[in-house]
A and B are shown apart, each in its own frame.
Chain A
Amino acid sequence: MTAGLSTRPALTVIGENIHCTRVALRKGKRIAERDGAEAILYRSADGEERALPVTEAAKRTKDYEEGRVKHVQVAIETAMETAASDPPGDAAEGLRYIEALVRHQERAGAAFLDLNVDEISPKLGVQTAAMAWLAGTVQGMTALPLSIDSSSVDVIRAGLEAIAPARARAMLNSASLERLEALDLARAHDCRVVVTAAGERGMPDGAEGRVANAARMVEEALARGFGLGDLYIDPLVFPISVDSRYGRHCLDAIRALRARFGDDIHITGGMSNVSFGLPARTLLNEMFILLAVDAGADGAIMDPVASPPEAILAIDRTDPRYQLAEDVMLGRDEHCMAYIRAWRKGRLATT
């Protein structure tokens, strides 16, 4: 392969750090007492050490009781709600927290910023309002294109409508056979779009099912006037802790899809799903992303701050830790036993 013919980066990162699902552990280093109140510690975009107070609403949740704080949700709620309160609360701190999430991902090399507020509330109205606010707010903080992510087409629409027309083309995350109307929405807003390999009636089993579903999605998209370069296939990444064949299913599908559709189409995926249920997840995520790139993926929906993309591409595969992770991903470590054993013995520690 000759380098330099394409200016496309080897790994197009869709940064997933602005998700309401993200949690910090109360016992962990990121939560501490500041000015007599529990707060989320963070480094601002300017490099200043700051603290975002945990809201009373967050403290009333079961999550909190069990030791978890949904820190991104706290920031969004703080910024949205306390601006209007009397006396005004910590709105500026909430905004500063979001700006830090934006800037840190930008510096780490994210190409898109993915926004997801699905878990902010079970109420659709709250979700759509939060997405409209968040998309409108984040676009004022960065020139990067936004990726509007939801399981609800209504929430995605609210996000896309909040984006100014002059901005870089947004991403819609995601459309699938069970949700073809999302393709029409992407077309109407002239977006790029993540198309997943989910079927109409269930998740695909193995590589062939993924390729068949994804190929149908590509056809549906082309028929609506999208170019191949507008499409980002998500072949669906399943947790390897559940079945040691899941890594290969996804990697084989990536290989087949690249061979079938050529260089213009994008292949990405929610890579961190692969490590659910296992310790030392970052190591597994990084190895899986590298294997996916080898197989023909050119992108990842991932946390670029935890795993800088250039570091992933420069991974030393002879490092025993990465070899253990590779064995897990390729199904050579049944039940991940060697990997877990190494973790217990402290052999997976990164500096």
Chain B
Amino acid sequence: MAALSDIANAVIRDEIEEFLERPDEIERNVALFARMRPEMQDIAAALIEGDNHTVDALTVKALADGTEALEIMDDGLIAGMGIVGIKFRENFIFVPEVLACARAMKAGMVHIEPILSASGVEPIGTVIMGTVKGDLHDIGKNLCIMMLSGAGFDVVDLGVDTSEDEFIAALEEHGAPIMGMSALLTTTMPNMGRTIEALIDADIRDDVMVMVGGAPVTEEFADDMGADGYGKDALSCVALAKKLMEERG
């Protein structure tokens, strides 16, 4: 079994030691970083520190040295973001820091994405995002979009006050596997359920995974209205989107 001392990068070792508490997460991350090349650990460490310039420079250098784009994405960027997510969940870091990490992730992804798409690797997935009809709040939804696009998703932003028809038209136009709906008001929250019903009526419900979120939304409410998942904040939204992509296969 891998040990903490098998990890070359001191920042990563400190991060795991200081911020990870759940045994399964410690074990998984120690194993992950221990098998990783030191150059990739350096990228992850810079991402965790929210240093977009260093992530940018190290990504360019790694690509020039012949590292596969996929390795940089999976090992450097996504693994680094995994630590960020845990720290945010446990209140060790706060929204501005998570946004800095998302910007750092993006600084790496701008180099990775064109290579992946040129070599025929599809982006992780396209997500249609919108605040539901009657609701004008967009700060939470925009945070989700920043995090999703940082994580490599293509995001189509439908803005606020999005009607059922607008969601359906966007799904048909982009063939997106995931759709996210946001609502900040208990008065507009039921429009999530109505939109899901409209997807059923349009006979496209089975083509898309639906995720929902927003301050008054709960997991129970998400289940009741037939959503595929609920995310309580922007980072849960990214984890959920990845999980839904896997479930979809």
Contact = CB atoms under 8 A, between A and B. Distances in A.
A127 to B, nearest CB: 7
Contact of B139 (A61, A122, A242): A242
B186 A119 contact: yes
Interface string B216-232: 10111100100000001
Interface stretch (B65-73, B95-103, B111-119): B95-103
Given A152-B187, A242-B99, A201 B136 contact: yes
A181 B139 CA distance: 26
Chain B interface, >50% SS class: loop
Interface in A120-148: 122, 127
Contact of B221 (A118, A122, A239): A122
Closest 9 CB pairs of A and B: A277-B95, A241-B95, A151-B185, A335-B96, A62-B219, A118-B186, A152-B187, A151-B187, A336-B96
Interface residues of B, number: 31
Contact of B218 (A63, A201, A202): A63
A62 B185 CA distance: 19
A127 B219 contact: no
A279 interface: yes
B236 to A, nearest CB: 11
B160 to A, nearest CB: 5
Nearest to B159: A202
Contact of A278 (B96, B136, B219): B96
A61 B218 contact: yes
B186 A152 contact: yes
Given A61-B218, A62-B218, A241 B96 contact: yes
Interface of A: 21, 61-63, 66, 118-119, 122, 127, 150-152, 178, 198-199, 201-203, 238-239, 241-242, 276-279, 335-337, 340
B188 interface: yes
A128 B221 CA distance: 19
B223 to A, nearest CB: 10
A201 B161 contact: yes
Contacts of B138: 202-203
Contact of A118 (B50, B99, B160, B216): B216
A277 B96 CA distance: 8
Contacts of A152: 186-187
Contacts, number: 78
Interface string B76-114: 000000000000000100111101100000000000000
B143 interface: yes
Nearest to A121: B186
Contact of B100 (A178, A238, A335): A335
A312 B161 CA distance: 37
Contacts of B97: 335, 337, 340
Contact of A335 (B91, B99, B161, B189): B99
B137 interface: yes
Contact of B96 (A127, A198, A201, A340): A340
Interface string B155-171: 00001110000000000
Contacts of A279: 91, 94
A122 B219 contact: no
B4 to A, nearest CB: 23
A239 B142 CA distance: 13
B177 interface: no
A122 B187 CA distance: 8
Interface in B190-211: 190
Contact of A202 (B160, B186, B187, B219): B160
Given A118-B216, A119-B186, 19 more contacts: A21-B215, A61-B220, A118-B185, A118-B187, A122-B186, A122-B221, A151-B186, A151-B187, A151-B188, A152-B186, A178-B136, A202-B161, A241-B94, A241-B96, A277-B94, A277-B96, A335-B97, A335-B99, A337-B97
A277 B137 CA distance: 17
Nearest to B233: A277
Contacts of B189: 122
A278 B97 CA distance: 10
A127 B186 contact: yes
Contacts of B137: 203
A142 B215 CA distance: 30
Nearest to B160: A202
Nearest to A152: B187
A199 B159 CA distance: 14
Contacts of A340: 94, 96-97
A178 B137 CA distance: 12
